Amino acid sequence: MTCEEAEVLIHALIDGELDAGHAREVEAHVEGCAHCAALMKEYQEIRQAIAESDVRYKAPLELRRKIEKALPQPQPQAAPTRRSVLRGFAMGSAVSAMAATGLVAIVLRNDDEQRIENEVVSAHLRSLQAGHLIDVVSTDQHTVKPWFNGKLDVSPPVIDLTAQGFTLIGGRLDYVNAREIGAVVYKRRQHVINLFVAQTANTERKTAKISTLQGFNIRRWSDRGLNYWAVSDLGADELTEFGDKFESAMRANKEG
Amino acid sequence: MVVNASQDDPEKARRFREAALPYLDDAYTLARYLLRDAADAEDAVQECYLRAYKHFDSYRGPAMKPWLFAILRNVCRAEYARRKTAPTVVEELPEGGDQTPMWNEAPETPEKQLLRRFDGDTVRKLVAALAEPFRETFVLREIQNLSYREIADVAAVPVGTVMSRLARARAMLRSAWLAEQEQVK
């Protein structure tokens, strides 16, 4: 056997792919050839080094979620599982979620609203912890808006309000009321405003209400099938200004 | 990406999930090395799973992983074609025509010193820098642990081609490894 042949065959030997006869031939060559022996040792070492290092990638959760969602879902269970609830939400609203799981819900009661406001404030607090504020960093609404596509069933409106004194800094996926929700993040001076947007079955327009919870102001309103919660430590006056600017920009968009 | 209603069979979906989802990390790893781009890899894997589900009825085994990989590879090749600047493909030697330098020229005499160990990022970088089709063969063998036969099926080439590609891939990686070692000394 020549070195040239051996240099190909040592790989099959290393990989245990040679039959006994050929394996013996290659081994015999390697025993008598310092060059091929040293080469084979090096290849084995590299192989070992690769096997012991972290060369694999982990599929992002988001990818797993997308694939799961594209596949037909298991039969609905008698009792609502977390998955079937989520699936229901994916269909559009809390109402259809409950319909899908065999429950009947008419409207969110007041204590639900209160609970959701609590959750929205918690989400706002979580977002202020290190490294959690934004998933997509951009001051460009044309970057932030498409980022949400495919991540949520509803694409939150992303409006640049820089000229009005509220800087768009990015977007994030969050989790409120057991469902994924879009958060568009703005800043005024050093104050963060999280604008949470969720779909609702109710298309009726609800005018804004300001409330205060744990020291944060919340401005809540509904328009064209979307619920909005703007949360910030800004004063109620400035948060109202933000909401007004946002709503009038939305109206301008609609008309334009 | 929505699977159409005629395929909306929960039992089939359940079997598919059990058979295919455990290989999601493997598929994503392969796509990362083939496409060298995280977002493209995600898209390719998603497309791969949808195609695999569509063809799941005709799947007869035996091994799910190479079957998925064959689909993924086709998706990735379509992605190459779509890209404006296709990755440079190193021409292969004609069978038996041993004229090109890379591994026909005997590799330089092995070093006496021990090979240096690198961190995961460096190793990933070295592997990702291999030219196609050697990178694909190498990743299927060393990272995915496929047999030569399985690699041949995935890449739709004879086993002999797998052997020569792998030999060349390892020779290329060894040179790159030694060069990196020299550089960081």
Average pLDDT over residues A158-182: 86
* CATH 1.10.1740.10 intervals, chain B: 5-82
Give the pLDDT score at A152: 78
Give the CA angle between residues A88, A92, A97 to the nearest 5°: 30
Q: Say whether A67 and B46 touch across the interface (CB within 8 A).
A: yes
Which residue segments constitute the domains of chain A, with CATH numbers given? 3-52 (no CATH), 59-106 (no CATH), 108-255 (3.30.200.100)
pLDDT tens string A71-95 = 887 554 444 444 444 443 443 444 3
Residue A197 phi/psi, 5° resolution?
-130, 125
| Mean pLDDT on A233-243 | 93
A207 touches chain B (CB under 8 A): no
Confidence band, pLDDT 50/70/90 cuts, at residue B19? confident
- Interface residue A5 vs chain B (CB under 8 A): no
What per-residue confidence (pLDDT) applies to A105?
Answer: 34
Residue of A57, A69, A136, A149 best to disrupt the B interface, most CBs of B under 10 A:
A57
Contact B167 A57 (CB under 8 A): no
CATH class of residue range B5-82: mainly alpha
- What pLDDT was estimated at residue A109? 43
The mean of the pLDDT values for chain A is: 80
Smallest Cβ–Cβ distance between B163 and the set A11, A46, A60 belongs to A11
Give percent of chain B above pLDDT 70. Answer: 77
Amino acid at A194: N
- Give the strands of the sheet with A179-188, arranged side by side: A136-137, A167-176, A179-188, A191-199, A226-232, A216-223, A206-213
A176-232 pLDDT, tens per residue? 877 788 899 999 988 899 999 988 777 778 888 998 888 889 999 998 888 999 999
- Judging contacts by C-beta atoms under 8 Å, the chain B residues touching residue A39 are 107, 110
Residue pair A182/A152 in contact (Cβ under 8 Å)? The answer is: yes
pLDDT attached to residue A181: 85
DSSP H helices, chain A, are 3-14, 20-32, 34-52, 61-70, 82-90, 94-100, 110-128, 141-148, 236-255
Residue A31 corresponds to which amino acid?
E
| Chain A / chain B CB contacts < 8 angstroms | 128
pLDDT in tens, B60-110: 876 899 999 999 999 998 887 777 555 555 545 444 333 344 444 445 666
Question: CATH for B101-184, among 3.30.70.890, 1.10.10.10, 3.20.10.10, 3.40.50.2000?
Answer: 1.10.10.10
Residues of chain B with CATH 1.10.10.10: 101-184
Q: Is A34 on the interface with B (CB under 8 A)?
A: no
